[in-house]
Amino acid sequence: MLYHNAQLHNVAEVLTGGDAAVLPPAACAFLGYDPANPGNSPWARERTDGVWLSRVPDALRRQLAGCAQFHALNAAGCEIRFQLRPGGQARLLLQTPGQPAAAALYRGCFFESWRPLGQEPVEWIIRAPPQAEKLERLTRARNLPFDAAVTRVLLPWWPHLRLLALEGDFEPPRPEQTPALRGLAYGSSITHGSKTIAPDAMWASRLAQLLDADLLNLGLGGGACLEPEMARHLADRHDWDFATLELGINLLDLVDADEFQRRVDLFISIVADEHPDQWIFCTDIFTFEGDLLDPAGRGAKADEFRRIVQEKIAAMRRPRLVHIPGRNLLRSAAGLTTDLVHPSARGMEEIAQALTLRIRQSLRLPVP
């Protein structure tokens, strides 16, 4: 979307007001937060100026699980994009209540610097880099997917963020200045980016980089509950060329196999029926603690969930609807963090590399 003459990539809607205005009761219950009695919560220090960035339309957000209502406000995969005019500069003012976070500055495909963000507003003045002409020349020579004239501010996947100011002498990028190929990723906190540090370190971001693609990240920590409303949102979108759907882990301890099958049947059918000619890659539960230490308990239930996803996709008989077992993407136990669910940097890269190979083969993309 366009906002103050810049592009807010992966942002569906900006929201105004304080926390009470944007946190429905289900989201408050998830946070254990009472807007009427905030106490020492970092939410009590929220400003009411500026805007929140929501990755899904607000009307949809309010129909999702409580954790998804909150995590949709995390800026995973979101970027502020613009082109500076000659001699121009941009001023950003950003705030992230709660734990510190990091934003990254790119010029096209080229990383430039980090900026720490926190509870106090951070001002960021951005000017053209001294190497601008060389970066643009190299971009053309190597046919890189992002024009180096495009300034990209990659926002943190966590915590939520308020954009307090965005002003300067710039204009939004043109469509031909960003990648022609665009992928959409739906899933759990693993897709969202949990346990990563850099805003481009989650497997979905690395996948997009490796494919020279742009990314729409709809990972929702704890909230990939396969609601039909979310399925219809994905189905109604026609801004992606391929999609990855990570299915299962957030429902493993919430529903039984019959209910999971009902949700999978409806979710995949809604999305795939609307996009019969698009590539859709469905992954099931990645390697986790249940597989490694409790194969007869949670591991067995996870296997049942995996079988449900596999059989649903096989039954639809669509050549561009593909099942990729999660354990084929994350094979190494050492690719997990200490919670034995979320991948480490090593695990995120392992997933991205394996998926890149499969998607490149399916879409017949050239090997760089």
Domains and CATH numbers, the chain: 2-177 (2.60.120.260), 182-363 (3.40.50.1110)
End-to-end alpha carbon distance in the chain:
31
- Please report, rounded to a whole number, the percentage of residues in the chain having pLDDT higher than 90: 86
Lowest mean pLDDT among 27-36, 137-146, 274-283, 304-313: 27-36
Quote the radius of gyration of the chain (alpha carbons, Å).
20
pTM of the model: 0.96
Summarize the confidence of residues 139-157 as an average pLDDT: 97
CA pair distance 38, 27, nearest whole angstrom: 14
- pLDDT, one tens digit per residue, over 44-87 is 455 678 899 999 999 999 999 999 999 999 999 999 999 999 99
* Helix or strand run (H / E) with residue 292: helix 289-293
- pLDDT, one tens digit per residue, over 220-262 is 999 999 999 999 999 999 999 999 999 999 999 999 999 999 9
Which DSSP state fits 187? E
